[in-house]
Structure 1
Amino acid sequence: MTEEAAKPALLISASYVLDPADTAAYKVLAARMAKAARARPGCVFLNAAQDVLDPETFHLTEGWASEHDLNAHLASEAFQSVLAAALKLRIRARSGTMYLIGGAQELDMPS
């Protein structure tokens, strides 16, 4: 990927709250989805993380080069398989937002 192609045009931020009995199963599914998505054209990144203060909450952050790439991922057999398995889990709450990226600026962060 070129430097320009490595910048996402879309950013997705999603959160899921699971029944405590299903957090281990969700971790496995999130890892499967992240691995499959990262191999797809147009996936700039996909990160899944368990909340450090609330172990039943998971956060997904995705960057996609285009809506076409995202839609191809959502229609893929790998994603549909993970979705089918996730729908069997006790997800108590979910939320998500897609942002359209108009530009980016590096942060100067202290070491």
Structure 2
Amino acid sequence: MIPHTKHTPTSKVISAYYTVHPEDRQTFNDAVIPHLSTTAQQDGCTYYVFAEDLTDPNTIHLTEGWRDQDAIDAHMTDERFLEAASAVLKNVRIIDYQAEYYDVATQTAGALPT
């Protein structure tokens, strides 16, 4: 496995969000949090981050970076991913969901404006 660095080449990005029923927020977290570190360590994963929306705590954003499509395909069939997805789909009322997949044409390390 290639060690992850902040400049690891990423050719695929997935950006998604989930808006969950307020009563199911903890159930969502409980299903997803154990899955975060195992996915981040999968071969080909350059980053995998869930983050709470600052204006709506029941909306959670997911941003994923992957080396290539083969890495995404392996992730989507990984037993731990399937368990987490199943737990969410069976136990969480998802009010809204959207996901977009992007092919990265170029990648440049950025910096905050000075």
TM score, norm. by length of structure 2: 0.88
Gapped runs of 5+ residues in structure 1? none
Report what 1:91 is aligned to.
Answer: 94
The answer to whether 1:74 aligns with 2:87 is no
Aligned residues: 110
1:53-106 CA-to-partner distances (Å, cap 9, x unmatched) read 101100000000011111101101000100110102101110000000011123
Gapped runs of 5+ residues in structure 2? none
2:53–2:60 Cα contact (<8 Å) kept = yes
The two structures, once aligned, show a CA RMSD in angstroms of: 1.7
Letter in 2 for 1:64: W
Letter in 2 for 1:110: P
TM score, norm. by length of structure 1: 0.90
- Corresponding residue to 1:61 among 60, 63, 67: 63
SS of match in other structure, 2:56: coil
Q: Percent identity?
A: 27
Separation of aligned partners in 2, 1:96 and 1:24:
22
SS of match in other structure, 1:44: strand
2:10–2:107 Cα contact (<8 Å) kept = no
Letter in 2 for 1:90: R
Which runs of structure 2 are paired with 1:95-106 in the superposition (5 Å)?
Answer: 95-106=98-109
4+ aligned runs moved over 3 Å, structure 1: none
Separation of aligned partners in 1, 2:113 and 2:8:
24
Q: CA deviation at 1:25?
A: 1.5
SS of match in other structure, 1:53: coil
